[in-house]
Amino acid sequence: MHSSERKVQYIKATKNSLTLYEDVKYYLLMQVPEGRLVRDKEIQKFLCSKFGADDISFEQPMHRFVIKGYLCRILDNVPLHREVSAGGYLLKDHYGESLKNEGFETEVIKGRCTPRVKNFKSYLFDLETETDIDVEALKKINAEGLFDILPEEYSF
């Protein structure tokens, strides 16, 4: 090899991915007040910044399925309807009724299966600036679940 020639070695970049239990996401949704919305991409961005990750995914731990009623009791307290897609579309059709009860109007866009919240950007809740959630609280929820923060009537 001549001195003017250099050998270049390419190293493929890898994403720093993290998998959290869905309880963490449910906790964040519980912070969104009535009449406000949060996009799924903002939840991802918020958690990535808190945990120093490039990508976040969610799973439900098997041991929480085994505990009788755990998931049902949790989901009764989570305003799942307040999470919309990046374009403001409902994640499930049946969330439309809950959103209407909170004063939101939805519209059906031609070619789309699910409705979209009208003017959804004006209702967006910013987890970063409107909450003071720290990473230690999120780690505790991820490890222990949500029952420590739910009202007493939901405990086992």
Q: Distance between CA 5 and CA 23 in Å, rounded?
A: 55
In this prediction, residues 59-75 reach a mean pLDDT of 71
Give 41's pLDDT tier (boundaries 50, 70, 90).
Answer: very high
Which among 103, 97, 101, 96 has a CA at the least distance from the CA of 122?
Answer: 103
Q: What percent of the chain is modeled with pLDDT above 70?
A: 84
Give 1's pLDDT tier (boundaries 50, 70, 90).
Answer: low
Q: Distance between CA 101 and CA 29 in Å, rounded?
A: 17
In this prediction, residues 123-136 reach a mean pLDDT of 95
Query: Mean pLDDT for the chain?
Result: 86
22, 61 contact by CB (below 8 A) = no
State which amino acid sits at residue 115: P
- Would residue 75 be called left, alpha or beta, if left means φ above 0 and alpha means ψ between -120 and 50 degrees? alpha
Residue reference for tokens 């991802």? 44
